[in-house]
Amino acid sequence: MVKDKTLVKVNEDLARERKKCNFKVEELTNFLDGGVQYTTSRRTLENDILSHKELFDSIPEEYLSHKEKYENAIRKTVLYYRLMQKYQNYKEGSTILDETRANYRNLVSFAVFKDYPPLMLHNGMFIPAIAGQGTPEQQKHWLKRAKNMEILGTYAQTELGHGTFIRGLETTAEYDPSTEEFVLHSPTLTSYKWWPGGLAHTVNYCVVMAQLYIRGRHHGMQPFLVQLRDEETHIPLPGVKLGEIGAKLGLSTVNNGFLAFEHHRIPRDRMLMKNAQVLKDGTFVAGPSSKLAYGTMIYVRVIIVNGMANLMAKAATIAVRYSAVRRQSQIKPSEPECQILDYVTQQHKLLICIATSLAFSTCARWLWDVYTGVMGQMESGNMDHLPELHALACSLKVVSTMDVSGLVERCRLACGGHGFMHSSNLPYTYGLATAACTYEGENTVLLLQTARSLVKAWQKGSKGKPLSPTEAYLMDKSPVPKWENTLDGIIAGFRRVSAGKVQDCVSKIDKLVKMGTSYEDAWNQTSVRLVAASEAHSRAVILATFRAEVSRAAAALSPPLARVLHQLVHLYTVYWALERVGDLLLYTSIAERDVQELQQQYEDLLQKIRPNTVGLVDAFDLRDEILNSTLGAYDGRVYERLMEEALKSPLNAEPVNQSFHKYLKPFMQGKL
C-alpha cells in the first residue's frame, strides 16, 4: 500500500503533516494489528478482494431505490462471500474464536457495503448458534452445509412486542410426542419475530428462539433450527410468513425481516440440543447449566466493542484528514487562512476520537483474553468468573457504543456541511454505531444489569466476602487520599466516584425500603442514580485497562511510539476527568486548583499530539476503498472528489428534470 501512495499527488498540507510525524507509522499499524504477521495477512486479503472491481458500485447506493439497493447488495454479496471463503479457514482445529481474533481489523466489507451486507448474521450469529448450541451430530450436518453456504441462515429472537425482556417473548414451540415434532406458533401480532438481518428475502434457514412447552408445561426459551423457504424455489414454506420490516435510519441493505408461524411443524431433531434436550417421548432433560447460553451473548458483545473501535478509527481518519486539508478563516488577520486542524477547538473535538479508538481496541483485546479464559474454565465446569465477565461485557458494550456513536457525530459535525453529505461516509458510519446502542441489549437496560451486579457485590463485600478483581475497589474503606493529578490519581478517583455512587444508591434504596417502599419500587426510584453509578464503574474499568495494557505493551515498542501512546492514554484520562469533574469534586479530594491544572495539562497534550495527528490516523491503515469517503482519502483531494461524487447523482444526468414541464412550468404560469 505504501508503494501506491507514493504514486498519487498528495495535497500539500497533508504531505507536510506527514513529514511532521515523529514516530513510525508502520510500527503503530503493526501494534494495532497485534503483530506484523497480522498486518501482512490483512493487507494480502485487502489487495486480493479490492482488486475485484465488480464488487464496487458505479452509482453510489444512496441514489438507488430501496428495492434496487437490496438487489444490488445481493449481487455483491454472492461475489464477496465467494471470494472471502478462502480466507475463512474452517479447517480442523481452527475455531471460530481463532478466526474472529484474526479478523479484528478486517474492514474490507466496508469497501463493498457502506452498511452491513444482508448475510452478515449468517457468519455472525447463525453459525455461532449452531456451533454453540448444536449437538455434535447437529453440528456435523448443519455446520458443514452452513459453512459451505449451501444453506443461508440468520438468528431470530427479538419480536415486535419484546426485545430486551426475553422472558416476555411469545413465540411458542409445543412438542407433539405423537408425531415427534415441535409445533411453532405465533399467537399474536406482537409475537412476530422482528429485526433479524437477512430474514426478509435472503436466508432460507433460521435459528428461532421460542418458548418450549411439553404437555402444557413450560420449559423456558430454546433454540430451534427451522427451514423457512424451499431450497429450490425460495418460496416460504406453508405456515411460515415472511417479509421485510421496512426502511430504517441505517443498515439499509441488511434486509431485516419479520417472521410468523402458523402451527408450523418441524422434526424433533431440529431443536438445538447441546444443552437442554427433549427425548422422543417428551421427557425434558435440562442442560448442565442455563448459564452456558450466556457464552454467545458475551461473545457478540466483545465483537461489538472491537467494532466500535474500528468505526471510531474510520470516522477519525476522515475528519482528521479533512481538517488538515480544509482551510478556513484566519487565526491572525495578517496570515493566510489556516488549516482548521490548527484551531484548538477542532483538536479538542478530534484528538479524543483517536484516543477513544485506541482505548476500545485495547479494551476489546483485553476482554477477548478474559472471555477465552473464562470460556475455558467453563468447559471444565467452573462458572465462578462468568458473572464478572458478563458485567464487564455489558459495561464495555454500553460505553463503547455510547461514546463512539457520540464521537462519530462529533467527527461529522467537525466536517461542517460536507460531513452531512453521504459521500463523506460519516452518516453511514453513524448509522452503524448508533444501532449498536440498541441491539444486543439496550444500553440503559444493560447499565441497570451492571448496577445490579455492583449492588450485589457491595452487599457481599459488606458482609466481608471477597469480591472479584474488577469490583474489589468497591470495598476500599481507606480514608479519601490526598488528590494527585496523575494517571493513577485520576483512576483511583474514578474508583472512588463509582464506589461512592454505589454506596449512595444502596443508602437510598435502604432508606426507601425502611419507609415502606417495596425493594422493586425503591430500585426503580433509584434507577437514574444506578445508571450513573454503573457508568462510573465502567469508566474506572476502561481507564485502568487502557493504562495498564498500554504500559504493559510499551516495553516492546520504540521510545517514540511508546511516548505517543502514553500521551494518548494521558489525554484520554484527563479528558474524562474534566468531563466528570462534578463527580470528582463530590467524591474525591480534588480541589479547584487541581482542576485548573488538569485543564492546562489537557491543552498542553493537545499541543503535543497535534504534530502527530495525521500520522496517528494514517496508522489505522484504512484504505481509501474502505473509508469510502470524499473527505478522508489519503491524497486529500477533497473538493475534486466532492464534485466528482456530486456528478454521479442521476439527477445531474439531465439539465432539466421532467418535473419542470409537468409541474413547475404550469405552476409558475398560474395554470396549476
* Binding-site string for its own copies from residue 501 to residue 520, where x marks contact by CB under 8 A and - marks none: ---x-------------x-x
In whole angstroms, how close is the CB of 148 to its own copies at the nearest point?
A: 8
Given candidates 8, 36, 286, 664, which one binds its own copies under the rule CB under 8 A?
A: 664
* Binding-site string for its own copies from residue 18 to residue 57, where x marks contact by CB under 8 A and - marks none: ----------------------------------------
593 counts as binding its own copies under rule CB under 8 A: no
What residues from 339 to 378 belong to the interface with its own copies (CB under 8 A)? 342-345, 348-349
380 counts as binding its own copies under rule CB under 8 A: no
Residue number with CB closer to its own copies (523 or 620): 523
12 counts as binding its own copies under rule CB under 8 A: no
Give the span between the Cα atoms of 364 and 104, in whole angstroms: 9
Give the span between the Cα atoms of 198 and 191, in whole angstroms: 19
In whole angstroms, how close is the CB of 287 to its own copies at the nearest point?
A: 23
Contacts 24+ apart (CB under 8 A), 69-72: 69/252, 69/253, 70/118, 70/201, 70/253, 70/255, 72/253
Amino acid making up residue 360:
F
**Nearest-CA neighbor of 205 among 272, 278, 274?**
272
What residues from 163 to 192 belong to the interface with its own copies (CB under 8 A)? 163-165, 168, 189-190, 192
77 counts as binding its own copies under rule CB under 8 A: yes
Q: How many CA atoms lie within 13 A of 625 on its CB side?
A: 20
Which residue in the list 17, 46, 409, 440 is annotated as catalytic? 440
Give the span between the Cα atoms of 602 and 360, in whole angstroms: 20
611 counts as binding its own copies under rule CB under 8 A: no
Neighbours of 88 (CB within 10 A): 16
90 counts as binding its own copies under rule CB under 8 A: no
What residues from 521 to 540 belong to the interface with its own copies (CB under 8 A)? 521, 523-529, 531
68 counts as binding its own copies under rule CB under 8 A: yes
Given candidates 377, 438, 503, 601, which one binds its own copies under the rule CB under 8 A?
A: 438
Give the position of cell 483517536.
354
In sequence order, what are the beta bridge partners of 191? none
Give the span between the Cα atoms of 668 and 672, in whole angstroms: 8
* Binding-site string for its own copies from residue 567 to residue 586, where x marks contact by CB under 8 A and - marks none: -------------xxxxxxx
Instruction: Select from 44-52, 93-101, 246-254, 466-474 the region that touches its own copies (CB under 8 A).
Output: 246-254
Residue number with CB closer to its own copies (178 or 659): 659
**Nearest-CA neighbor of 341 among 353, 352, 351?**
351
What residues from 312 to 341 belong to the interface with its own copies (CB under 8 A)? 328-333, 337
* Contacts for 2 with CB less than 8 Å, ≥ 6 apart: 26
Residue number with CB closer to its own copies (380 or 669): 669
Give the span between the Cα atoms of 40 and 49, in whole angstroms: 14
Return the C-alpha cell found at 623: 484504505
Instruction: Select from 24-32, 95-103, 238-246, 311-319 the region that touches its own copies (CB under 8 A).
Output: 238-246
Give the span between the Cα atoms of 418 and 603, in whole angstroms: 27
Given candidates 51, 58, 65, 478, which one binds its own copies under the rule CB under 8 A?
A: 65
592 counts as binding its own copies under rule CB under 8 A: yes
Give the span between the Cα atoms of 56 and 54, in whole angstroms: 5
Given candidates 19, 20, 66, 552, which one binds its own copies under the rule CB under 8 A?
A: 66
What residues from 212 to 231 belong to the interface with its own copies (CB under 8 A)? 231
* Count of residues that interact with its own copies, criterion CB under 8 A: 145
Return the C-alpha cell found at 424: 463523506
Residue number with CB closer to its own copies (151 or 375): 151
647 counts as binding its own copies under rule CB under 8 A: yes
Instruction: Select from 315-323, 362-370, 372-380, 436-444 the region that touches its own copies (CB under 8 A).
Output: 436-444
Q: Is position 159 annotated as part of the catalytic site?
A: no
Residue number with CB closer to its own copies (43 or 610): 610
8 counts as binding its own copies under rule CB under 8 A: no
Return the C-alpha cell found at 190: 406482537
Residue number with CB closer to its own copies (51 or 165): 165
CB-CB contact of 353 with 620 (8 Å) = no
Give the span between the Cα atoms of 587 and 498, in whole angstroms: 9
Give the span between the Cα atoms of 493 and 490, in whole angstroms: 5
Return the C-alpha cell found at 84: 472471502
Is residue 571 classed exposed, middle or buried when 0-12, 13-18 and 19+ CB atoms within 10 A define those classes? buried
CB-CB contact of 220 with 133 (8 Å) = no
Convert 93-129 into a string of H (helix), E (strand) and C (coil): CCCHHHHHHHCCCCCCHHHHCCCCCCCHHHHHHHHHH
Give the span between the Cα atoms of 475 and 498, in whole angstroms: 11
423 counts as binding its own copies under rule CB under 8 A: yes
In sequence order, what are the beta bridge partners of 662? none
Give the span between the Cα atoms of 666 and 483, in whole angstroms: 75
Given candidates 28, 49, 84, 152, which one binds its own copies under the rule CB under 8 A?
A: 152
Residue number with CB closer to its own copies (271 or 435): 435
195 counts as binding its own copies under rule CB under 8 A: yes
552 counts as binding its own copies under rule CB under 8 A: no
List residues with catalytic annotation.
Answer: 440
